[in-house]
Amino acid sequence: MDFLLQNKDIIMKLILAAVVGGFTGYEREKSNQFAGFRTHILVSVGACITSVIALELFNKYSSISTMDPARLPAQVLSGIGFLGAGAILKNSNGIRGLTTAAGIWATACIGIAIGYGQYVLGITAWLLVMATLYIFKNIDKVISKRSQAILKATITNLDITSTVFNTIKASEIGIKNFQIVSRSNDIWELVFLIEYDKRIILEELINELKKINYVVNMECLR
């Protein structure tokens, strides 16, 4: 019990950092990102640990050394870039993971602030991060404006219809309408009315669809 009382400030900082990281990571988990709940907790707690250690070392040796208490946390911010880079993925519809990478970096900064005892700074920054991830996400969808287009896939085997359909859905493109048009006994045309974010590169999706067996032609009408 005495141990807990003597170290309650450190324990409180670590718990608060874990809570902040957990809630931030939970949102990323819901968005089907690889760096989610546990990753953000570890980042936040780890960053907090470095701040606590830096302060403890500074308070203990400041009389005999000119050490900088910000030096150790600074290494966290440079090292976190490797973890953030691992969250960025390039796929058929452009680049994913930039928000997650930025969130990991921001979570590390918040953990450092909490470790230094800057609770107002840390909690305020965390509230802004959560608002960005939850509230501003919907605003971003309005600003970016989604466009519509028609995709036509000419195929020679109806069995691949589900493959074409799933490939389009995997690119985070909404399918508003779908129909199959018979051109002859062994040629069909799959017509998709799609809705997509303007930032998505449709040409890359079309090239991916062309690689599917029995797809003989792809056409996009905007």
What are the structural domains, with CATH classification, of the chain? 8-143 (no CATH), 146-221 (3.30.70.260)
Write down the mean pLDDT value for the chain: 80
Dihedral sign (CA 208, 212, 218, 222): negative
What is the mean pLDDT of the segment spanning 30-41?
74
Side-chain-facing half-sphere of 172: CA atoms under 13 Å = 14
Indicate the pLDDT class of residue 189, thresholds 50, 70 and 90.
very high
Dihedral sign (CA 48, 49, 52, 57): negative
Task: Please name which of 206, 205, 208 lies closest in space to residue 219, comparing C-alpha atoms.
Answer: 206
Instruction: For residue range 80-99, list pLDDT tens digits in order.
Output: 777 777 777 665 555 667 77
35-49, 61-75, 111-125, 205-219: least confident range: 61-75
Beta strands per DSSP E along the chain: 89-91, 94-96, 146-155, 174-182, 188-197, 215-221
Q: What count of residues does the chain have? A: 222
Which residue has better confidence, 12 or 63?
12
Which residue has better confidence, 100 or 62?
100
C-alpha span between 135 and 76 (Å, rounded): 28
Residue whose structure tokens are 């005999």: 64
Residue 70 has pLDDT above 80, yes or no: no
Which residues, in sequence order, are bridge partners of residue 217? 154
